[in-house]
């Protein structure tokens, strides 16, 4: 079966920009205090609870941050080049090439799942499938933390990024209320939602 066009665009684009992306994206220690606090809380709640997937992990900085805090974390990314950089930088942390549409874990295997600025490339019509996959992979009571861009429903289609390198992905900026509704519809109970300007973070659990 042919790979869906949006996944092919994300894979090819991030393979192209991987090295430049790794240079400019801030590490967890450089994030704003609130973002650091949210990540710390996620790590504290999932440490020792079972395996945790960092979905769309990029160069692996946040996966390594979780691992350093006792989380049994694995980083998953669609881009083989991103995964290669992550393995080089953090050889003690497991990383694998995988799509969030078909996570390589059995049903109910994960104590936690982190999707940190990684779902906005998914066409809105396909987000229910992605969130259903998150629910499938989470154990009952498992914790989801999803952070990302929000907006009024606009779709951005840049032709270059990260220093002028060519990209072909789309970036969808949905209202936070719609994202929360889609999570709930997938069977994930949203327990907290934080909005700050063009960004939002959601915490949810599988019932």
Give all domains of the chain, ordered by start, each with its CATH number. 5-206 (3.40.50.150)
pLDDT score of 52: 98
pLDDT score of 1: 59
3-state secondary structure labels for all residues of 84-119: HHHHHHCCCCCEEECCCCCCCCCCCCEEEEEEECCC
Beta carbons of 20 and 165 less than 8 angstroms apart: yes
Alpha helices in the chain (DSSP H): 5-24, 33-46, 61-68, 80-89, 127-137, 176-185
Within the chain, what is the greatest distance between any pair of CA atoms?
Answer: 44
pLDDT score of 98: 97
Residue 141's Cβ-count burial label (10 Å; 0-12, 13-18, 19+) is exposed
**Cα–Cα distance list, 206 to 31, 143, 190, 201 (Å):** 28, 7, 9, 17
pLDDT score of 2: 66
Ramachandran class of 29: left when φ > 0, alpha when ψ lies in -120 to 50, beta otherwise: alpha
- Tens-level pLDDT at each residue, the chain (207 residues): 567 899 999 999 999 999 999 999 889 999 999 999 999 999 999 999 999 999 999 999 999 999 999 999 999 999 999 999 999 999 999 999 999 999 999 999 999 999 999 999 999 999 999 999 999 999 999 999 999 999 999 999 999 999 899 999 999 999 999 999 999 999 999 999 999 889 999 999 998
pLDDT score of 4: 84
Q: What is the reported pTM?
A: 0.96
Spell out a b/e string for 7-35, using b for 16 or more CB atoms within 10 Å of the CB, else e: bebbbbbbebbbeebbeeeeebeeeeeeb
Residue 199's Cβ-count burial label (10 Å; 0-12, 13-18, 19+) is middle
pLDDT score of 25: 87
Residue 172 to residue 124: CA distance in whole angstroms: 7
């Amino acid at each position: 079966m042919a790979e869906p066009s949006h996944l092919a665009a994300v894979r090819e684009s991030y393979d192209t920009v991987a090295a430049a992306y790794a240079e400019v994206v801030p590490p967890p220690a450089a994030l704003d205090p609130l973002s650091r606090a949210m990540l710390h809380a996620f790590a504290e709640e999932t440490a020792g609870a079972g395996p945790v997937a960092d979905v769309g992990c990029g160069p692996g900085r946040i996966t390594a941050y979780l691992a350093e805090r006792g989380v049994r974390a694995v980083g998953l990314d669609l881009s083989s080049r991103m995964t290669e950089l992550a393995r080089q930088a953090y050889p003690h942390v497991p990383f694998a090439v995988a799509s969030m549409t078909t996570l390589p874990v059995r049903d109910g295997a994960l104590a936690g799942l982190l999707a940190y600025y990684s779902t906005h490339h998914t066409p809105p019509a396909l987000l229910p499938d992605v969130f259903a996959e998150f629910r499938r992979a989470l154990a009952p009571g498992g914790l989801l933390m999803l952070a990302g861009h929000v907006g009024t429903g606009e779709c951005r289609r840049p032709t270059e990024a990260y220093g002028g390198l060519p990209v072909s992905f789309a970036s969808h900026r949905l209202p936070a209320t719609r994202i929360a509704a889609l999570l709930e519809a997938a069977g994930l109970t949203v327990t907290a939602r934080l909005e700050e300007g063009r960004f939002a973070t959601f915490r949810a659990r599988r019932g």
